[in-house]
Amino acid sequence: MVPKYSFVVPVYNEEKSLSEAYRRISSVMEQMDGPVELIWVNDGSRDRSLQLLRHLQQQDPRVCYVSLARNFGHQIAVTAGLNFVRGEAVVILDADLQDPPELIPKLVEKWQQGYQVVYAQRTQRHQESWFKRFTAYFFYRLLKQLADVDIPTDTGDFCLLDRQVVEILNRMPERNRYIRGLRSWIGFQQTAVKFKREPRFAGDVKYTFGKSLALAVNGLVSFSKVPLRLSTYVGLLSAIVAMFMVLLVLYWRIFVPHSPLTGFTIILVAIFFLGAVQLVSIGILGEYIGRIYEEVKGRPLYTLAEVSGFGDWGLNSKDQPSAEGHLRGSTEIANELS
């Protein structure tokens, strides 16, 4: 059986949501116009998620799972899932049911109209904290201003991708993956389907403030060189300020001989100002250099502990992904199956 659709669901400590997620996703699977494979990616969960996935897999032949050897983070988990898909259209959605599976038929409708990328765009965020909504709102607009590609605002990873797009994504070797950015970068016909983001079904948010911040920095640094240029601009600005200060001091020396401002104050201010500018600039440089270092090392994107449910071409867990992050090209797999 060659599936027509592949659903990819990253899972990190989601034992409380898994069975409900499976129930809702599988009822959507029944409405589809072709066979569907459901690929769970266990991102090093420390709760019973993996046991539950094993159980689901034994009960339902459409279910497959990939288990990473530790927690690699959401973006890498999705990447790993994409490396295993066999369907012609691929849907990425969260395990906590914040991305309603019932929207999938709408995404598919657009795909059938000829769009290669159909992303779900939030019109509302329910019951997420005031802080998260505010920072997300601000961040997506900042990113839109700064990024080299047009990354649509208020989109997450919930989307449908044509196999053509998935194969391009799978060939992208970069480590610092910001999937919603890469997805825009690829191009083709893209469109949005609007939806209301629902509250989490159960459990806690797995994206802590630190992880969200890291994702945001990643998005900015991977898709914009503006922060690098920032130090040039601030440098130029402070040079102008410095020249102005020289004139000011001269003026004071000549016309206001006893001004208290000509002394230490102005020197201190200048030292602190320049010190700050330099440290911030070095920090920004560091962000980019750190990423160059990560890329140059060329490690695989993830390591695999367990793979199950992929039928004949089932890999055993001793096969590890190569530095490019894939075991085999997905085209190869599809060819083998057909």
Residues in contact with ligand UDP by CB under 6 A are 10-12, 14, 43, 71, 73-74, 77, 94-96, 98, 205-207
33 or 204, CB closer to ligand UDP? Answer: 204
Partner from Mg ion, ligand UDP, none contacting 11, C-beta within 5 to 8 A by type: ligand UDP
| Residue 206 binding target from ligand UDP, Mg ion, none, CB below 5 to 8 Å by type | ligand UDP
At 124, give phi and psi (nearest 5°).
-145, 145
CA distance 209 to 315: 36
Q: Report d(CA 171, CA 329) in Å as an integer.
A: 8
Q: State in angstroms the smallest separation of the CB of 67 from Mg ion.
A: 20
The one of Mg ion, ligand UDP, none whose footprint includes residue 73, by CB under 5 to 8 A per kind, is ligand UDP
Minimum distance from CB of 16 to ligand UDP (Å)?
11
293 CA to centre of own chain: 20
- For residue 96, state whether it binds Mg ion (rule: CB under 5 A): yes
Please report where in the chains the tokens 């208290």 appear, as a residue. 260
177 contact choice in ligand UDP, Mg ion, none (CB below 5 to 8 Å, kind-dependent): none
98 interacts with Mg ion by CB under 5 A: yes
Nearest to 99, CA basis, from 75, 79, 130, 120: 120
Matching residue, tokens 């096969």: 319
Q: Which residue, 96 or 162, is less far from Mg ion as judged by CB?
A: 96
Q: Closest Cα to residue 156, out of 130, 172, 170, 136?
A: 136
Around Cβ 109, how many Cβ atoms within 10 Å?
Answer: 13
Nearer to Mg ion, 43 or 162 (CB): 43
Binding residues for Mg ion (CB under 5 A): 96, 98
